[in-house]
Structure 1
Amino acid sequence: MDLLIILYFESIITTMNKTIFVVFCLLFTSSCFADGLNDRLFRIQAKWEQVHYTYPEEQRAAAFSPLLKVATALAHEYPMRAEPLILQASIMLTTAANEGPFTALSSVEKARDLLVKAIAIDPTAKEGSAYVTLGVLYYKVPSWPIAFGDDAKAGKLLQMALRISPNAVDSNYFYGDFLLTQGRVAEAAEYFSRAINAPAPHGISLGNARLRQKAKQALEEIGRSTSVSSGT
Protein backbone atom coordinates (compact mmCIF):
# COMPACT_ATOMS: atom_id res chain seq x y z
CA MET A 1 0.00 0.00 0.00
CA ASP A 2 1.70 3.25 -1.12
CA LEU A 3 1.79 6.53 0.79
CA LEU A 4 -1.13 8.12 -1.06
CA ILE A 5 -3.41 5.19 -0.24
CA ILE A 6 -2.29 5.22 3.40
CA LEU A 7 -3.00 8.96 3.70
CA TYR A 8 -6.35 8.48 2.00
CA PHE A 9 -7.34 5.69 4.37
CA GLU A 10 -6.23 7.74 7.39
CA SER A 11 -8.53 10.57 6.30
CA ILE A 12 -11.41 8.10 5.83
CA ILE A 13 -10.84 6.63 9.30
CA THR A 14 -10.89 10.11 10.87
CA THR A 15 -14.15 11.00 9.13
CA MET A 16 -15.69 7.65 10.00
CA ASN A 17 -14.67 7.99 13.63
CA LYS A 18 -16.54 11.30 13.94
CA THR A 19 -19.64 9.63 12.55
CA ILE A 20 -19.35 6.55 14.74
CA PHE A 21 -18.91 8.79 17.79
CA VAL A 22 -22.45 10.07 17.26
CA VAL A 23 -23.76 6.52 16.83
CA PHE A 24 -21.92 5.54 20.02
CA CYS A 25 -23.68 8.36 21.91
CA LEU A 26 -27.01 7.19 20.52
CA LEU A 27 -26.34 3.70 21.84
CA PHE A 28 -26.68 5.02 25.39
CA THR A 29 -29.56 7.46 25.03
CA SER A 30 -32.23 5.19 26.51
CA SER A 31 -32.49 2.75 29.39
CA CYS A 32 -33.69 -0.16 27.29
CA PHE A 33 -30.80 -2.45 28.16
CA ALA A 34 -31.51 -5.91 29.47
CA ASP A 35 -31.96 -6.25 33.22
CA GLY A 36 -28.59 -6.73 34.91
CA LEU A 37 -26.72 -5.04 32.07
CA ASN A 38 -27.86 -1.47 32.57
CA ASP A 39 -25.48 -0.29 35.30
CA ARG A 40 -22.48 -2.09 33.88
CA LEU A 41 -23.02 -0.75 30.38
CA PHE A 42 -23.37 2.79 31.67
CA ARG A 43 -20.22 2.49 33.78
CA ILE A 44 -18.31 1.53 30.66
CA GLN A 45 -19.85 4.51 28.87
CA ALA A 46 -18.78 6.88 31.67
CA LYS A 47 -15.20 5.66 31.48
CA TRP A 48 -15.22 5.93 27.69
CA GLU A 49 -16.40 9.55 27.95
CA GLN A 50 -13.69 10.33 30.50
CA VAL A 51 -11.00 8.97 28.19
CA HIS A 52 -12.41 10.62 25.07
CA TYR A 53 -12.90 14.07 26.60
CA THR A 54 -10.10 14.42 29.16
CA TYR A 55 -7.15 12.31 27.99
CA PRO A 56 -4.52 13.67 25.57
CA GLU A 57 -5.02 12.16 22.13
CA GLU A 58 -1.73 10.25 22.28
CA GLN A 59 -2.86 8.48 25.49
CA ARG A 60 -6.32 7.42 24.37
CA ALA A 61 -5.38 4.19 22.60
CA ALA A 62 -3.69 2.83 25.73
CA ALA A 63 -6.66 3.87 27.87
CA PHE A 64 -9.22 2.37 25.52
CA SER A 65 -7.46 -1.01 25.55
CA PRO A 66 -8.54 -2.12 29.08
CA LEU A 67 -11.98 -0.64 28.48
CA LEU A 68 -12.36 -2.80 25.40
CA LYS A 69 -11.33 -5.84 27.45
CA VAL A 70 -14.11 -5.11 29.96
CA ALA A 71 -16.66 -4.77 27.17
CA THR A 72 -15.42 -8.00 25.59
CA ALA A 73 -15.74 -9.85 28.90
CA LEU A 74 -19.27 -8.53 29.27
CA ALA A 75 -20.16 -9.82 25.81
CA HIS A 76 -18.83 -13.26 26.80
CA GLU A 77 -20.86 -13.16 30.02
CA TYR A 78 -24.06 -12.40 28.08
CA PRO A 79 -23.54 -14.42 24.88
CA MET A 80 -27.21 -14.34 23.92
CA ARG A 81 -27.58 -10.57 24.23
CA ALA A 82 -26.91 -8.21 21.31
CA GLU A 83 -26.34 -5.05 23.38
CA PRO A 84 -22.87 -5.96 24.75
CA LEU A 85 -21.71 -6.83 21.23
CA ILE A 86 -22.89 -3.46 19.93
CA LEU A 87 -21.06 -1.78 22.82
CA GLN A 88 -17.90 -3.78 22.11
CA ALA A 89 -18.04 -2.86 18.43
CA SER A 90 -18.63 0.82 19.21
CA ILE A 91 -15.60 1.06 21.52
CA MET A 92 -13.51 -0.78 18.94
CA LEU A 93 -14.53 1.72 16.28
CA THR A 94 -13.68 4.75 18.40
CA THR A 95 -10.15 3.42 18.84
CA ALA A 96 -9.60 3.31 15.07
CA ALA A 97 -8.73 7.02 14.71
CA ASN A 98 -6.02 6.60 17.36
CA GLU A 99 -4.39 3.71 15.49
CA GLY A 100 -2.26 3.45 12.38
CA PRO A 101 -4.08 2.75 9.10
CA PHE A 102 -3.38 -0.99 9.04
CA THR A 103 -4.36 -1.58 12.68
CA ALA A 104 -7.38 0.67 12.21
CA LEU A 105 -8.60 -1.39 9.28
CA SER A 106 -8.32 -4.55 11.39
CA SER A 107 -10.33 -2.90 14.19
CA VAL A 108 -13.02 -1.78 11.75
CA GLU A 109 -13.31 -5.28 10.27
CA LYS A 110 -13.60 -6.86 13.73
CA ALA A 111 -16.26 -4.33 14.71
CA ARG A 112 -18.16 -5.13 11.53
CA ASP A 113 -18.16 -8.83 12.41
CA LEU A 114 -19.42 -8.08 15.94
CA LEU A 115 -22.29 -6.02 14.54
CA VAL A 116 -23.22 -8.83 12.16
CA LYS A 117 -23.27 -11.21 15.12
CA ALA A 118 -25.41 -8.79 17.15
CA ILE A 119 -27.94 -8.60 14.33
CA ALA A 120 -28.08 -12.39 14.15
CA ILE A 121 -28.91 -12.51 17.88
CA ASP A 122 -31.44 -9.67 17.96
CA PRO A 123 -31.83 -7.34 14.96
CA THR A 124 -34.14 -5.03 16.92
CA ALA A 125 -31.74 -4.45 19.85
CA LYS A 126 -31.37 -0.76 20.67
CA GLU A 127 -33.98 0.04 18.03
CA GLY A 128 -31.88 -1.43 15.24
CA SER A 129 -28.73 0.54 16.07
CA ALA A 130 -26.51 -2.30 14.82
CA TYR A 131 -28.06 -1.90 11.37
CA VAL A 132 -27.42 1.85 11.49
CA THR A 133 -23.78 1.49 12.56
CA LEU A 134 -23.09 -1.29 10.08
CA GLY A 135 -24.73 0.67 7.27
CA VAL A 136 -22.61 3.71 8.10
CA LEU A 137 -19.47 1.58 7.99
CA TYR A 138 -20.29 0.22 4.55
CA TYR A 139 -20.60 3.64 2.96
CA LYS A 140 -17.86 5.39 4.96
CA VAL A 141 -14.94 2.98 4.57
CA PRO A 142 -13.13 2.54 1.24
CA SER A 143 -14.21 -0.26 -1.07
CA TRP A 144 -12.13 -3.24 -2.15
CA PRO A 145 -9.13 -3.64 -2.45
CA ILE A 146 -8.49 -1.27 0.47
CA ALA A 147 -11.43 -2.24 2.67
CA PHE A 148 -14.99 -3.59 2.47
CA GLY A 149 -17.00 -0.50 1.58
CA ASP A 150 -20.13 -1.31 -0.43
CA ASP A 151 -22.79 1.29 -1.17
CA ALA A 152 -25.39 -1.29 -2.18
CA LYS A 153 -25.05 -3.11 1.16
CA ALA A 154 -25.06 0.19 3.02
CA GLY A 155 -28.37 1.18 1.48
CA LYS A 156 -30.00 -2.14 2.34
CA LEU A 157 -28.75 -2.06 5.94
CA LEU A 158 -29.94 1.49 6.51
CA GLN A 159 -33.32 0.62 5.00
CA MET A 160 -33.57 -2.28 7.47
CA ALA A 161 -32.89 0.16 10.30
CA LEU A 162 -35.71 2.35 9.01
CA ARG A 163 -38.10 -0.60 8.96
CA ILE A 164 -37.32 -1.26 12.62
CA SER A 165 -37.35 2.41 13.69
CA PRO A 166 -39.02 4.50 10.98
CA ASN A 167 -39.31 7.54 13.24
CA ALA A 168 -35.85 7.45 14.84
CA VAL A 169 -33.49 10.40 14.41
CA ASP A 170 -30.43 8.28 13.66
CA SER A 171 -31.94 5.96 11.05
CA ASN A 172 -33.43 8.90 9.14
CA TYR A 173 -30.36 11.12 9.39
CA PHE A 174 -27.86 8.51 8.27
CA TYR A 175 -30.05 7.30 5.41
CA GLY A 176 -30.32 10.91 4.30
CA ASP A 177 -26.55 11.28 4.54
CA PHE A 178 -26.10 8.09 2.53
CA LEU A 179 -28.50 9.30 -0.18
CA LEU A 180 -26.58 12.57 -0.35
CA THR A 181 -23.36 10.67 -1.11
CA GLN A 182 -25.24 8.98 -3.95
CA GLY A 183 -26.31 12.30 -5.46
CA ARG A 184 -29.97 11.71 -4.57
CA VAL A 185 -30.35 15.18 -3.13
CA ALA A 186 -34.15 15.53 -3.10
CA GLU A 187 -34.59 12.18 -1.34
CA ALA A 188 -31.82 13.05 1.12
CA ALA A 189 -33.58 16.29 2.01
CA GLU A 190 -36.75 14.35 2.81
CA TYR A 191 -34.96 12.11 5.31
CA PHE A 192 -33.09 15.03 6.87
CA SER A 193 -36.47 16.66 7.43
CA ARG A 194 -37.77 13.47 9.01
CA ALA A 195 -34.75 13.39 11.33
CA ILE A 196 -35.37 16.97 12.42
CA ASN A 197 -39.06 16.32 13.07
CA ALA A 198 -38.67 12.88 14.64
CA PRO A 199 -40.31 12.44 18.07
CA ALA A 200 -37.95 13.22 20.92
CA PRO A 201 -36.92 10.11 22.89
CA HIS A 202 -37.34 9.84 26.64
CA GLY A 203 -34.65 11.70 28.53
CA ILE A 204 -31.88 13.97 27.25
CA SER A 205 -30.05 12.69 24.21
CA LEU A 206 -26.77 14.32 23.22
CA GLY A 207 -26.52 12.08 20.18
CA ASN A 208 -29.99 12.93 18.91
CA ALA A 209 -29.41 16.65 19.48
CA ARG A 210 -26.23 16.51 17.44
CA LEU A 211 -27.89 14.61 14.63
CA ARG A 212 -30.79 17.05 14.48
CA GLN A 213 -28.29 19.91 14.20
CA LYS A 214 -26.35 18.09 11.49
CA ALA A 215 -29.60 17.43 9.61
CA LYS A 216 -30.47 21.14 9.77
CA GLN A 217 -27.02 22.06 8.48
CA ALA A 218 -27.36 19.55 5.64
CA LEU A 219 -30.73 20.98 4.63
CA GLU A 220 -29.31 24.51 4.70
CA GLU A 221 -26.41 23.42 2.49
CA ILE A 222 -28.82 21.74 0.08
CA GLY A 223 -30.86 24.93 -0.02
CA ARG A 224 -27.80 27.05 -0.77
CA SER A 225 -26.65 24.65 -3.50
CA THR A 226 -30.12 24.66 -5.07
CA SER A 227 -30.20 28.46 -5.04
CA VAL A 228 -26.82 28.68 -6.75
CA SER A 229 -27.83 26.11 -9.36
CA SER A 230 -31.05 27.97 -10.16
CA GLY A 231 -29.27 31.29 -10.28
CA THR A 232 -31.43 32.84 -7.54
Structure 2
Amino acid sequence: MLDLSFHSFASALKERLAEPLPGAEAHKKMASASRLRTAMQPNERTRRSAVLIVFYPYRGSILVPLILRPQYDGVHAGQMAFPGGRMERTDESLIRTALREAQEEVGIRVTDVKVLGKLTELYIPPSNFFVQPVVGILPYRPDFYPDPREVEHVVEVSLEELMDETIIGANAIEVRGTIIDAPFYQLQGFKVWGATAMMISELLMVINSVPK
Protein backbone atom coordinates (compact mmCIF):
# COMPACT_ATOMS: atom_id res chain seq x y z
CA MET A 1 0.00 0.00 0.00
CA LEU A 2 2.90 2.33 0.80
CA ASP A 3 4.46 1.89 -2.62
CA LEU A 4 1.13 2.53 -4.32
CA SER A 5 0.40 5.71 -2.37
CA PHE A 6 3.92 7.02 -2.87
CA HIS A 7 3.78 6.17 -6.56
CA SER A 8 0.47 8.00 -6.89
CA PHE A 9 1.86 11.05 -5.10
CA ALA A 10 4.94 11.10 -7.34
CA SER A 11 2.95 10.70 -10.55
CA ALA A 12 0.51 13.47 -9.63
CA LEU A 13 3.32 15.80 -8.55
CA LYS A 14 5.21 15.24 -11.80
CA GLU A 15 2.11 16.14 -13.81
CA ARG A 16 1.48 19.26 -11.74
CA LEU A 17 5.11 20.45 -12.06
CA ALA A 18 4.71 20.43 -15.84
CA GLU A 19 1.94 23.04 -15.54
CA PRO A 20 2.32 26.79 -14.80
CA LEU A 21 3.84 27.39 -11.36
CA PRO A 22 2.70 29.88 -8.67
CA GLY A 23 6.20 31.38 -8.45
CA ALA A 24 6.24 34.91 -7.02
CA GLU A 25 2.77 34.53 -5.48
CA ALA A 26 3.99 31.64 -3.32
CA HIS A 27 7.41 33.18 -2.62
CA LYS A 28 5.87 36.39 -1.30
CA LYS A 29 4.06 34.51 1.48
CA MET A 30 7.34 33.57 3.17
CA ALA A 31 9.54 36.51 2.13
CA SER A 32 11.20 38.67 4.76
CA ALA A 33 10.11 42.26 5.27
CA SER A 34 13.45 43.53 3.96
CA ARG A 35 13.10 41.49 0.77
CA LEU A 36 9.61 42.82 0.17
CA ARG A 37 10.86 46.39 0.61
CA THR A 38 13.61 46.05 -1.97
CA ALA A 39 13.53 45.13 -5.63
CA MET A 40 16.99 43.66 -6.13
CA GLN A 41 17.36 41.69 -9.33
CA PRO A 42 20.00 39.36 -10.82
CA ASN A 43 22.94 41.14 -12.46
CA GLU A 44 25.97 40.34 -14.60
CA ARG A 45 27.81 38.93 -11.56
CA THR A 46 24.96 36.67 -10.42
CA ARG A 47 25.91 33.00 -10.25
CA ARG A 48 23.66 30.03 -11.02
CA SER A 49 23.01 27.29 -8.49
CA ALA A 50 20.53 24.52 -7.74
CA VAL A 51 19.10 22.56 -4.82
CA LEU A 52 17.50 19.12 -4.66
CA ILE A 53 14.12 18.58 -3.01
CA VAL A 54 13.87 14.79 -2.87
CA PHE A 55 10.96 12.78 -1.48
CA TYR A 56 11.09 9.13 -0.39
CA PRO A 57 8.78 6.68 1.40
CA TYR A 58 9.49 5.46 4.91
CA ARG A 59 7.24 3.64 7.40
CA GLY A 60 4.00 4.87 5.94
CA SER A 61 5.15 8.46 5.52
CA ILE A 62 6.67 10.53 2.73
CA LEU A 63 9.86 12.25 3.86
CA VAL A 64 12.09 15.03 2.52
CA PRO A 65 15.54 15.94 3.91
CA LEU A 66 16.74 19.38 4.90
CA ILE A 67 20.24 20.22 6.05
CA LEU A 68 21.58 22.52 8.73
CA ARG A 69 24.54 24.52 7.49
CA PRO A 70 27.46 24.71 9.96
CA GLN A 71 28.66 28.00 11.39
CA TYR A 72 31.21 29.61 9.07
CA ASP A 73 32.11 33.04 7.72
CA GLY A 74 29.33 33.25 5.13
CA VAL A 75 25.87 34.69 4.58
CA HIS A 76 24.05 31.35 4.98
CA ALA A 77 25.94 30.04 8.02
CA GLY A 78 23.80 28.14 10.53
CA GLN A 79 20.74 28.18 8.29
CA MET A 80 18.42 25.39 7.20
CA ALA A 81 18.46 24.56 3.50
CA PHE A 82 17.97 21.90 0.86
CA PRO A 83 21.15 20.17 -0.33
CA GLY A 84 22.64 22.14 -3.19
CA GLY A 85 25.24 24.59 -4.39
CA ARG A 86 26.75 26.49 -7.26
CA MET A 87 26.81 25.30 -10.85
CA GLU A 88 30.20 24.10 -12.05
CA ARG A 89 31.52 24.33 -15.60
CA THR A 90 31.35 20.56 -15.89
CA ASP A 91 27.60 20.51 -15.10
CA GLU A 92 25.60 20.15 -18.31
CA SER A 93 22.47 21.48 -16.61
CA LEU A 94 21.15 22.81 -13.32
CA ILE A 95 19.49 19.44 -12.74
CA ARG A 96 22.95 17.92 -12.83
CA THR A 97 24.13 20.59 -10.37
CA ALA A 98 21.38 19.72 -7.90
CA LEU A 99 22.09 15.99 -8.12
CA ARG A 100 25.87 16.37 -7.87
CA GLU A 101 25.66 18.69 -4.88
CA ALA A 102 23.21 16.40 -3.07
CA GLN A 103 25.60 13.51 -3.56
CA GLU A 104 28.59 15.51 -2.38
CA GLU A 105 26.86 17.03 0.64
CA VAL A 106 24.78 14.17 2.05
CA GLY A 107 25.72 11.09 0.04
CA ILE A 108 22.50 10.62 -1.93
CA ARG A 109 23.02 8.12 -4.76
CA VAL A 110 22.11 10.29 -7.73
CA THR A 111 21.65 7.38 -10.12
CA ASP A 112 18.64 6.33 -8.02
CA VAL A 113 16.95 9.74 -8.10
CA LYS A 114 14.09 10.22 -10.53
CA VAL A 115 13.62 13.89 -11.38
CA LEU A 116 9.97 14.97 -11.46
CA GLY A 117 10.43 18.57 -12.49
CA LYS A 118 11.47 22.01 -11.26
CA LEU A 119 10.05 24.83 -9.21
CA THR A 120 10.49 28.52 -10.05
CA GLU A 121 14.05 29.87 -9.96
CA LEU A 122 14.62 32.19 -7.02
CA TYR A 123 17.07 35.06 -6.67
CA ILE A 124 18.97 35.33 -3.37
CA PRO A 125 20.36 38.88 -3.00
CA PRO A 126 22.73 38.35 0.00
CA SER A 127 24.80 35.76 -1.90
CA ASN A 128 23.87 36.96 -5.41
CA PHE A 129 22.80 33.49 -6.49
CA PHE A 130 19.96 32.53 -8.80
CA VAL A 131 18.77 29.17 -7.44
CA GLN A 132 16.90 26.46 -9.32
CA PRO A 133 14.93 24.06 -7.06
CA VAL A 134 14.82 20.58 -8.60
CA VAL A 135 12.20 18.10 -7.36
CA GLY A 136 12.81 14.37 -7.40
CA ILE A 137 12.05 11.08 -5.68
CA LEU A 138 13.93 8.08 -4.34
CA PRO A 139 12.25 4.67 -4.01
CA TYR A 140 13.82 4.14 -0.57
CA ARG A 141 15.06 6.01 2.49
CA PRO A 142 18.72 6.81 1.78
CA ASP A 143 21.67 6.41 4.12
CA PHE A 144 23.04 9.91 4.69
CA TYR A 145 26.76 10.66 4.77
CA PRO A 146 26.96 14.39 5.54
CA ASP A 147 30.09 16.25 4.50
CA PRO A 148 31.05 17.97 7.79
CA ARG A 149 32.40 20.98 5.89
CA GLU A 150 28.97 21.61 4.36
CA VAL A 151 26.43 19.96 6.67
CA GLU A 152 26.11 19.96 10.43
CA HIS A 153 22.91 17.92 10.58
CA VAL A 154 20.35 16.24 8.29
CA VAL A 155 16.72 16.77 9.29
CA GLU A 156 14.13 14.42 7.80
CA VAL A 157 10.70 16.05 7.61
CA SER A 158 7.47 14.29 6.74
CA LEU A 159 5.13 15.71 4.14
CA GLU A 160 2.38 15.65 6.76
CA GLU A 161 4.48 17.87 9.04
CA LEU A 162 5.29 20.27 6.22
CA MET A 163 1.62 20.68 5.39
CA ASP A 164 0.63 21.48 8.98
CA GLU A 165 -0.18 25.20 8.98
CA THR A 166 0.56 25.50 12.70
CA ILE A 167 4.31 25.30 11.97
CA ILE A 168 4.23 28.77 10.37
CA GLY A 169 5.41 31.64 12.53
CA ALA A 170 7.01 35.07 12.21
CA ASN A 171 9.39 37.06 14.37
CA ALA A 172 12.67 38.94 14.41
CA ILE A 173 15.65 36.75 13.49
CA GLU A 174 19.23 37.83 14.13
CA VAL A 175 21.53 37.15 11.19
CA ARG A 176 25.20 38.16 11.50
CA GLY A 177 24.35 41.01 13.80
CA THR A 178 21.36 42.22 11.77
CA ILE A 179 17.75 41.81 12.89
CA ILE A 180 15.45 40.57 10.11
CA ASP A 181 11.66 40.33 10.35
CA ALA A 182 10.74 37.13 8.58
CA PRO A 183 8.12 34.39 8.49
CA PHE A 184 9.41 30.88 9.07
CA TYR A 185 8.48 27.22 9.31
CA GLN A 186 9.18 25.68 12.73
CA LEU A 187 10.43 22.17 11.95
CA GLN A 188 11.74 19.88 14.67
CA GLY A 189 13.17 22.75 16.68
CA PHE A 190 14.66 24.58 13.70
CA LYS A 191 13.44 27.79 12.09
CA VAL A 192 13.39 27.48 8.30
CA TRP A 193 13.21 30.93 6.73
CA GLY A 194 14.50 32.96 3.81
CA ALA A 195 14.90 31.40 0.38
CA THR A 196 14.33 27.85 1.67
CA ALA A 197 11.01 28.85 3.24
CA MET A 198 10.02 30.56 -0.02
CA MET A 199 10.78 27.36 -1.94
CA ILE A 200 8.75 25.31 0.55
CA SER A 201 5.87 27.75 0.14
CA GLU A 202 5.80 27.19 -3.60
CA LEU A 203 6.23 23.44 -3.19
CA LEU A 204 3.26 23.26 -0.83
CA MET A 205 1.13 25.43 -3.08
CA VAL A 206 1.91 23.07 -5.95
CA ILE A 207 1.16 19.95 -3.88
CA ASN A 208 -2.09 21.42 -2.57
CA SER A 209 -3.23 22.07 -6.15
CA VAL A 210 -2.67 18.47 -7.21
CA PRO A 211 -6.06 16.84 -8.01
CA LYS A 212 -7.11 14.59 -5.11
The TM tier, using the shorter chain, reads under 0.3
TM-score by length of 2: 0.28
Which gives a bigger RCO, structure 1 or 2 (Cα 8 Å, sep 6+)? 2
Tell me which protein shows more strand as a share of its residues.
Answer: 2
After TM superposition, the score normalised by the length of structure 1 is 0.26
